[in-house]
Structure 1
Protein backbone atom coordinates (compact mmCIF):
# COMPACT_ATOMS: atom_id res chain seq x y z
CA UNK A 1 0.00 0.00 0.00
CA UNK A 2 1.48 3.33 -1.01
CA UNK A 3 0.25 6.81 -0.03
CA UNK A 4 0.01 8.46 -3.48
CA UNK A 5 0.05 12.10 -2.34
CA UNK A 6 2.74 14.61 -1.35
CA UNK A 7 0.59 15.92 1.52
CA UNK A 8 0.29 14.24 4.93
CA UNK A 9 -3.00 12.94 6.25
CA UNK A 10 -3.09 9.17 5.83
CA UNK A 11 -6.47 7.89 7.09
CA UNK A 12 -6.28 6.23 10.50
CA UNK A 13 -7.75 2.96 9.28
CA UNK A 14 -4.95 2.49 6.75
CA UNK A 15 -2.55 1.72 9.62
CA UNK A 16 -2.24 -1.66 11.25
CA UNK A 17 -3.19 -1.40 14.93
CA UNK A 18 -2.84 -3.31 18.16
CA UNK A 19 -5.49 -3.17 20.92
CA UNK A 20 -4.67 -0.56 23.53
CA UNK A 21 -1.81 1.02 21.56
CA UNK A 22 -2.39 4.74 20.95
CA UNK A 23 -2.68 6.19 17.48
CA UNK A 24 -2.32 9.91 16.78
CA UNK A 25 -5.54 10.80 14.97
CA UNK A 26 -5.12 12.13 11.45
CA UNK A 27 -6.20 15.71 12.22
CA UNK A 28 -3.96 15.90 15.30
CA UNK A 29 -1.11 14.41 13.26
CA UNK A 30 -1.51 17.20 10.71
CA UNK A 31 -1.12 19.83 13.45
CA UNK A 32 1.92 18.06 14.91
CA UNK A 33 3.63 17.69 11.54
CA UNK A 34 2.93 21.33 10.73
CA UNK A 35 4.54 22.37 14.04
CA UNK A 36 7.67 20.30 13.25
CA UNK A 37 8.38 22.45 10.14
CA UNK A 38 10.12 19.67 8.27
CA UNK A 39 12.61 19.85 5.43
CA UNK A 40 13.32 17.08 2.89
CA UNK A 41 16.51 16.07 4.75
CA UNK A 42 15.37 16.56 8.35
CA UNK A 43 16.60 14.23 11.07
CA UNK A 44 13.61 13.51 13.33
CA UNK A 45 13.34 11.68 16.64
CA UNK A 46 9.85 10.45 17.53
CA UNK A 47 9.81 9.45 21.20
CA UNK A 48 6.90 7.25 22.20
CA UNK A 49 6.12 6.38 18.60
CA UNK A 50 3.15 4.11 19.36
CA UNK A 51 1.52 2.82 16.18
CA UNK A 52 4.09 4.61 14.03
CA UNK A 53 1.88 7.16 12.32
CA UNK A 54 4.31 10.05 12.82
CA UNK A 55 7.39 8.06 11.64
CA UNK A 56 5.50 6.92 8.53
CA UNK A 57 4.22 10.39 7.64
CA UNK A 58 7.52 12.19 8.38
CA UNK A 59 9.46 9.46 6.58
CA UNK A 60 7.40 10.12 3.45
CA UNK A 61 7.76 13.91 3.82
CA UNK A 62 11.55 13.77 4.39
CA UNK A 63 12.79 11.39 1.66
CA UNK A 64 16.44 12.39 2.21
CA UNK A 65 16.01 12.53 5.99
CA UNK A 66 16.33 10.02 8.79
CA UNK A 67 13.55 9.22 11.24
CA UNK A 68 14.36 7.56 14.57
CA UNK A 69 11.27 6.01 16.21
CA UNK A 70 11.75 5.24 19.92
CA UNK A 71 9.42 2.71 21.52
CA UNK A 72 9.96 0.71 24.70
CA UNK A 73 7.65 -2.24 23.95
CA UNK A 74 8.98 -4.97 21.64
CA UNK A 75 5.56 -5.80 20.13
CA UNK A 76 4.80 -2.14 19.48
CA UNK A 77 8.25 -1.62 17.91
CA UNK A 78 7.44 -4.53 15.57
CA UNK A 79 4.11 -2.85 14.74
CA UNK A 80 5.95 0.34 13.75
CA UNK A 81 8.20 -1.69 11.45
CA UNK A 82 5.17 -3.35 9.84
CA UNK A 83 3.48 0.01 9.26
CA UNK A 84 6.68 1.37 7.69
CA UNK A 85 6.81 -1.67 5.40
CA UNK A 86 3.13 -1.24 4.59
CA UNK A 87 3.76 2.28 3.26
CA UNK A 88 7.18 1.45 1.75
CA UNK A 89 9.00 3.85 4.08
CA UNK A 90 12.66 2.87 4.26
CA UNK A 91 14.23 5.80 6.14
CA UNK A 92 12.81 4.97 9.58
CA UNK A 93 14.94 3.25 12.21
CA UNK A 94 13.08 1.79 15.18
CA UNK A 95 14.94 1.83 18.50
CA UNK A 96 13.61 -0.31 21.34
CA UNK A 97 14.24 1.34 24.69
CA UNK A 98 12.85 3.52 27.46
CA UNK A 99 13.32 7.27 27.37
CA UNK A 100 15.25 9.11 28.60
CA UNK A 101 17.87 6.38 29.21
CA UNK A 102 18.02 5.13 25.61
CA UNK A 103 18.29 8.63 24.12
CA UNK A 104 21.96 9.05 25.06
CA UNK A 105 23.08 6.53 22.44
CA UNK A 106 20.71 7.34 19.58
CA UNK A 107 22.31 7.75 16.17
CA UNK A 108 21.97 11.01 14.24
CA UNK A 109 21.68 14.30 16.12
CA UNK A 110 18.10 15.52 15.64
CA UNK A 111 16.88 18.72 14.06
CA UNK A 112 13.28 17.94 15.00
CA UNK A 113 11.92 15.99 17.97
CA UNK A 114 8.37 14.81 18.52
CA UNK A 115 7.44 13.61 22.02
CA UNK A 116 4.11 11.84 22.25
CA UNK A 117 3.01 11.32 25.83
CA UNK A 118 5.96 10.02 27.76
CA UNK A 119 7.02 10.20 31.36
CA UNK A 120 9.12 11.53 32.98
CA UNK A 121 8.62 14.29 30.41
CA UNK A 122 10.95 16.86 31.99
CA UNK A 123 13.83 14.36 32.11
CA UNK A 124 13.17 13.45 28.48
CA UNK A 125 13.19 17.13 27.49
CA UNK A 126 16.55 17.72 29.23
CA UNK A 127 18.24 14.86 27.37
CA UNK A 128 16.64 15.87 24.05
CA UNK A 129 17.91 19.43 24.58
CA UNK A 130 21.51 18.19 24.89
CA UNK A 131 21.30 16.52 21.47
CA UNK A 132 19.06 18.94 19.56
CA UNK A 133 20.86 20.98 16.90
CA UNK A 134 20.73 24.81 16.97
CA UNK A 135 17.50 26.05 15.34
CA UNK A 136 16.03 22.65 16.17
CA UNK A 137 12.36 22.27 17.12
CA UNK A 138 10.57 20.23 19.76
CA UNK A 139 6.90 19.30 19.49
CA UNK A 140 5.25 17.61 22.47
CA UNK A 141 1.69 16.51 23.11
CA UNK A 142 -0.28 16.47 26.34
CA UNK A 143 -3.66 14.90 26.95
CA UNK A 144 -3.91 15.93 30.62
CA UNK A 145 -3.45 19.17 32.55
CA UNK A 146 -0.66 17.54 34.56
CA UNK A 147 1.31 16.72 31.43
CA UNK A 148 0.57 20.15 29.96
CA UNK A 149 1.98 21.77 33.08
CA UNK A 150 5.08 19.53 33.11
CA UNK A 151 5.86 20.24 29.44
CA UNK A 152 5.27 23.99 29.88
CA UNK A 153 7.56 24.03 32.91
CA UNK A 154 10.21 22.00 31.03
CA UNK A 155 10.06 24.39 28.06
CA UNK A 156 10.50 27.37 30.40
CA UNK A 157 13.45 25.80 32.23
CA UNK A 158 15.22 25.06 28.94
CA UNK A 159 14.36 28.53 27.62
CA UNK A 160 12.79 27.38 24.37
CA UNK A 161 11.90 30.29 22.10
CA UNK A 162 8.94 30.98 19.83
CA UNK A 163 6.72 28.72 21.91
CA UNK A 164 3.29 27.90 20.54
CA UNK A 165 0.50 26.01 22.29
CA UNK A 166 -2.55 24.72 20.43
CA UNK A 167 -5.44 22.66 21.70
CA UNK A 168 -7.16 20.58 19.06
CA UNK A 169 -10.96 20.63 18.94
CA UNK A 170 -11.98 18.25 16.20
CA UNK A 171 -15.31 16.64 15.32
CA UNK A 172 -15.79 13.91 12.75
CA UNK A 173 -18.96 13.01 10.90
CA UNK A 174 -20.00 9.48 11.87
CA UNK A 175 -22.91 7.30 10.89
CA UNK A 176 -25.01 5.96 13.78
CA UNK A 177 -27.85 3.82 12.59
CA UNK A 178 -29.75 5.79 9.97
CA UNK A 179 -28.39 9.14 11.20
CA UNK A 180 -25.18 11.04 10.66
CA UNK A 181 -23.81 12.88 13.66
CA UNK A 182 -20.62 14.62 14.71
CA UNK A 183 -18.40 12.87 17.25
CA UNK A 184 -15.60 14.65 19.09
CA UNK A 185 -12.00 13.45 18.88
CA UNK A 186 -10.31 13.66 22.29
CA UNK A 187 -8.69 17.11 22.59
CA UNK A 188 -4.90 17.19 22.71
CA UNK A 189 -2.53 20.03 23.61
CA UNK A 190 0.30 20.46 21.11
CA UNK A 191 3.27 22.49 22.36
CA UNK A 192 6.20 23.51 20.19
CA UNK A 193 9.31 25.62 20.53
CA UNK A 194 12.81 26.22 19.19
CA UNK A 195 16.41 26.04 20.33
CA UNK A 196 17.98 29.20 18.98
CA UNK A 197 21.66 28.75 19.94
Structure 2
Protein backbone atom coordinates (compact mmCIF):
# COMPACT_ATOMS: atom_id res chain seq x y z
CA UNK A 1 0.00 0.00 0.00
CA UNK A 2 1.35 3.41 -0.97
CA UNK A 3 1.74 5.68 2.05
CA UNK A 4 0.04 9.07 2.27
CA UNK A 5 3.41 10.80 1.86
CA UNK A 6 4.22 8.86 -1.31
CA UNK A 7 0.72 9.56 -2.61
CA UNK A 8 1.39 13.30 -2.27
CA UNK A 9 4.59 12.97 -4.29
CA UNK A 10 2.93 10.73 -6.87
CA UNK A 11 0.01 13.13 -7.18
CA UNK A 12 2.45 16.01 -7.82
CA UNK A 13 3.99 14.14 -10.78
CA UNK A 14 0.55 13.02 -11.99
CA UNK A 15 -0.94 16.54 -12.04
CA UNK A 16 2.09 18.67 -12.90
CA UNK A 17 3.67 16.52 -15.61
CA UNK A 18 1.35 13.80 -16.86
CA UNK A 19 -2.22 15.14 -16.73
CA UNK A 20 -1.33 18.10 -18.96
CA UNK A 21 -4.93 18.85 -19.94
CA UNK A 22 -5.98 18.73 -16.25
CA UNK A 23 -8.97 16.44 -16.77
CA UNK A 24 -8.16 14.16 -13.83
CA UNK A 25 -6.71 11.25 -15.77
CA UNK A 26 -3.76 10.54 -18.04
CA UNK A 27 -4.34 9.60 -21.67
CA UNK A 28 -2.56 9.80 -25.00
CA UNK A 29 -3.68 13.41 -25.54
CA UNK A 30 -1.73 14.44 -22.44
CA UNK A 31 1.43 13.09 -24.04
CA UNK A 32 0.70 14.87 -27.32
CA UNK A 33 0.29 18.12 -25.39
CA UNK A 34 3.53 17.45 -23.50
CA UNK A 35 5.41 17.06 -26.79
CA UNK A 36 4.04 20.42 -27.95
CA UNK A 37 4.93 22.09 -24.62
CA UNK A 38 8.48 20.75 -24.64
CA UNK A 39 8.95 21.67 -28.29
CA UNK A 40 7.84 25.20 -27.56
CA UNK A 41 10.03 25.41 -24.43
CA UNK A 42 13.10 24.36 -26.43
CA UNK A 43 12.19 26.32 -29.57
CA UNK A 44 11.83 23.24 -31.76
CA UNK A 45 9.47 23.08 -34.72
CA UNK A 46 7.44 19.87 -35.26
CA UNK A 47 9.68 19.11 -38.24
CA UNK A 48 12.90 19.27 -36.15
CA UNK A 49 14.70 16.02 -35.38
CA UNK A 50 14.78 16.75 -31.63
CA UNK A 51 11.03 17.41 -31.60
CA UNK A 52 10.39 14.11 -33.40
CA UNK A 53 12.73 12.29 -31.00
CA UNK A 54 10.82 13.65 -27.99
CA UNK A 55 7.56 12.64 -29.64
CA UNK A 56 8.75 9.06 -30.27
CA UNK A 57 10.10 8.74 -26.73
CA UNK A 58 6.97 10.12 -25.07
CA UNK A 59 4.71 7.86 -27.13
CA UNK A 60 6.78 4.84 -26.02
CA UNK A 61 6.44 6.01 -22.43
CA UNK A 62 2.67 6.41 -22.90
CA UNK A 63 2.38 2.92 -24.40
CA UNK A 64 4.29 1.45 -21.44
CA UNK A 65 2.33 3.44 -18.88
CA UNK A 66 -0.98 2.48 -20.43
CA UNK A 67 -0.14 -1.22 -20.63
CA UNK A 68 1.18 -1.27 -17.06
CA UNK A 69 -1.31 0.95 -15.27
CA UNK A 70 -4.58 1.10 -17.22
CA UNK A 71 -6.19 -1.78 -15.32
CA UNK A 72 -9.66 -1.38 -16.84
CA UNK A 73 -8.24 -0.82 -20.37
CA UNK A 74 -10.31 2.31 -21.01
CA UNK A 75 -7.43 4.31 -22.52
CA UNK A 76 -6.98 6.41 -19.37
CA UNK A 77 -4.93 6.11 -16.22
CA UNK A 78 -6.76 7.35 -13.13
CA UNK A 79 -5.06 8.42 -9.90
CA UNK A 80 -6.05 5.10 -8.29
CA UNK A 81 -4.45 3.17 -11.16
CA UNK A 82 -1.40 5.47 -10.95
CA UNK A 83 -0.97 4.84 -7.21
CA UNK A 84 -1.43 1.08 -7.63
CA UNK A 85 1.20 0.93 -10.35
CA UNK A 86 3.85 2.63 -8.16
CA UNK A 87 3.07 0.45 -5.13
CA UNK A 88 5.85 -2.06 -5.73
CA UNK A 89 8.36 0.27 -7.43
CA UNK A 90 11.37 -0.08 -7.80
CA UNK A 91 11.29 -3.88 -7.47
CA UNK A 92 8.78 -3.99 -10.33
CA UNK A 93 10.30 -1.23 -12.47
CA UNK A 94 9.04 -1.31 -16.03
CA UNK A 95 10.98 -0.31 -19.11
CA UNK A 96 8.79 2.79 -19.54
CA UNK A 97 9.74 3.96 -16.03
CA UNK A 98 13.42 3.63 -16.91
CA UNK A 99 12.76 5.49 -20.18
CA UNK A 100 10.92 8.20 -18.27
CA UNK A 101 13.84 8.59 -15.86
CA UNK A 102 16.24 9.03 -18.79
CA UNK A 103 13.83 11.39 -20.55
CA UNK A 104 13.55 13.64 -17.48
CA UNK A 105 17.31 13.71 -17.06
CA UNK A 106 17.89 14.53 -20.73
CA UNK A 107 15.23 17.25 -20.63
CA UNK A 108 16.90 18.85 -17.63
CA UNK A 109 20.41 18.48 -19.08
CA UNK A 110 19.92 21.32 -21.58
CA UNK A 111 23.68 21.70 -22.10
CA UNK A 112 23.95 17.98 -22.94
CA UNK A 113 27.08 17.67 -20.78
CA UNK A 114 25.96 14.60 -18.83
CA UNK A 115 24.99 16.44 -15.67
CA UNK A 116 22.29 18.78 -14.42
CA UNK A 117 22.99 22.08 -12.71
CA UNK A 118 20.66 24.32 -10.75
CA UNK A 119 19.84 26.66 -13.63
CA UNK A 120 19.01 23.83 -16.05
CA UNK A 121 16.89 22.10 -13.43
CA UNK A 122 14.97 25.14 -12.22
CA UNK A 123 14.35 26.46 -15.76
CA UNK A 124 12.60 23.24 -16.75
CA UNK A 125 10.34 23.29 -13.70
CA UNK A 126 9.57 26.99 -14.12
CA UNK A 127 8.46 26.23 -17.69
CA UNK A 128 6.02 23.68 -16.23
CA UNK A 129 4.54 26.34 -13.95
CA UNK A 130 6.40 25.53 -10.73
CA UNK A 131 8.01 28.19 -8.59
CA UNK A 132 11.58 28.68 -9.81
CA UNK A 133 12.93 29.56 -6.35
CA UNK A 134 11.42 26.39 -4.91
CA UNK A 135 12.93 24.40 -7.79
CA UNK A 136 16.36 25.89 -6.97
CA UNK A 137 15.89 24.83 -3.33
CA UNK A 138 14.78 21.37 -4.47
CA UNK A 139 17.90 21.07 -6.61
CA UNK A 140 20.13 22.08 -3.68
CA UNK A 141 18.51 19.42 -1.52
CA UNK A 142 18.86 16.71 -4.14
CA UNK A 143 22.44 17.71 -5.12
CA UNK A 144 23.51 17.51 -1.45
CA UNK A 145 25.66 20.63 -1.69
CA UNK A 146 27.26 19.87 -5.05
CA UNK A 147 26.91 22.09 -8.12
CA UNK A 148 25.64 19.32 -10.39
CA UNK A 149 23.98 15.90 -10.46
CA UNK A 150 25.27 13.16 -12.77
CA UNK A 151 23.15 10.62 -14.64
CA UNK A 152 24.17 7.85 -12.21
CA UNK A 153 23.22 10.01 -9.21
CA UNK A 154 19.96 11.07 -10.85
CA UNK A 155 18.88 7.45 -11.37
CA UNK A 156 19.22 6.77 -7.64
CA UNK A 157 17.44 10.01 -6.72
CA UNK A 158 14.60 9.16 -9.15
CA UNK A 159 14.14 5.74 -7.52
CA UNK A 160 14.20 7.38 -4.12
CA UNK A 161 11.52 9.88 -5.16
CA UNK A 162 9.07 7.16 -6.16
CA UNK A 163 9.84 4.67 -3.40
CA UNK A 164 10.90 6.49 -0.23
CA UNK A 165 8.71 7.43 2.71
CA UNK A 166 11.53 9.50 4.24
CA UNK A 167 10.41 13.15 4.17
CA UNK A 168 14.07 14.24 4.30
CA UNK A 169 15.29 12.06 1.42
CA UNK A 170 17.29 14.08 -1.16
CA UNK A 171 15.39 12.35 -3.97
CA UNK A 172 12.18 14.13 -2.96
CA UNK A 173 13.48 17.16 -4.86
CA UNK A 174 13.65 15.40 -8.24
CA UNK A 175 10.43 17.00 -9.50
CA UNK A 176 11.11 20.56 -8.38
CA UNK A 177 9.40 20.71 -4.98
CA UNK A 178 10.83 20.90 -1.48
CA UNK A 179 7.82 19.71 0.54
CA UNK A 180 4.69 17.64 0.07
More helix by share: 2
More strand by share: 1
Same fold (TM over 0.5): no
Kindly name which structure, 1 or 2, has the bigger radius of gyration based on alpha carbons. Answer: 1
TM-score by length of 1: 0.29
TM-score by length of 2: 0.31
